[in-house]
């Protein structure tokens, strides 16, 4: 009986530690967004989805303009909000390693949103150009039939922008 209570108490303690550390992790993940006032959009798409560039750029700009607590958009700047989409079309035979009749095409890859900021390196001279560093990032895996790729990529972009804006608001104390 004692052994089971001990295991239950240990499991409860571990669960509480995980929950507590997740809160600290969320605070740390947003730390790189402090003082971010303006961002330039940088969109990088895999060749299979390059046709989505205009639609994705429009969605991102609209989402940032509609939010009162969002960094302002700029055409050029040291701070960049970068979207990387590596989704590619893969046929089922290529994924499985052997041919299967009536196989389909799948969209496989990830959608990543990251913030790159100019950060001076320790020990560098004051006149040295600061190096860009990724100070915040989040990503979503895409793994769907190819016919649903466009919708899935759009959903991933919206979810990632939501996470970014939530973290940005948290750094501003709102």
Q: Residue 78: is its pLDDT beyond 60? A: yes
Q: Are 105 and 145 in contact (CB under 8 A)?
A: yes
- d(CA 95, CA 31) in angstroms, rounded, equals 39
Q: Exposure of 132 by Cβ count < 10 A (0-12 exposed, 13-18 middle, 19+ buried)?
A: middle
CATH architecture of 2-171: 2-Layer Sandwich (3.30)
Q: Residue 14: is its pLDDT beyond 70? A: no
- d(CA 35, CA 22) in angstroms, rounded, equals 23
Question: Tokens 């501003």 correspond to what residue?
Answer: 172
Model confidence pLDDT, tens digit, residues 100-156: 777 789 999 999 999 998 877 677 666 656 667 899 999 999 999 999 999 999 999
pLDDT for 19 = 45
Model confidence pLDDT, tens digit, residues 3-13: 555 555 555 55
User: 53: which 2 tokens?
Assistant: 């560039």
Q: Residue 27: is its pLDDT beyond 70? A: no
What residue ranges do the domains of the chain occupy? 2-171
* Residue from 45, 49, 46, 61 nearest 150 by CA: 49
How would you label 22-37 residue by residue, b for 16+ Cβ within 10 Å and e otherwise? eeeeeeebbebbeebe
Mean pLDDT rounded to a whole number for the chain = 81
């Amino acid at each position: 009986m004692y052994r089971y209570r001990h295991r239950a108490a240990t499991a409860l303690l571990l669960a509480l530690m995980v929950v507590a550390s997740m809160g600290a992790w969320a605070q740390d993940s947003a730390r790189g967004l402090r003082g971010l006032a303006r961002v330039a959009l940088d969109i990088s798409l895999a060749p299979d989805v390059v046709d989505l560039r205009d639609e994705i750029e429009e969605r991102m700009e609209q989402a940032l303009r509609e939010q009162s607590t969002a960094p302002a958009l700029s055409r050029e700047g040291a701070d960049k909000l970068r979207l990387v989409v590596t989704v590619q079309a893969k046929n089922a035979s290529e994924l499985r390693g052997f041919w299967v009749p009536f196989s389909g095409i799948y969209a496989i890859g990830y959608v990543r949103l990251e913030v790159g900021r100019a950060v001076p390196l320790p020990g560098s001279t004051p006149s040295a150009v600061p190096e860009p560093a990724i100070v915040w990032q989040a990503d979503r895996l895409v793994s769907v039939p190819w016919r649903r790729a466009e919708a899935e990529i759009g959903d991933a972009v919206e979810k990632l922008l939501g996470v970014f804006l939530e973290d940005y608001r948290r750094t501003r104390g709102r």
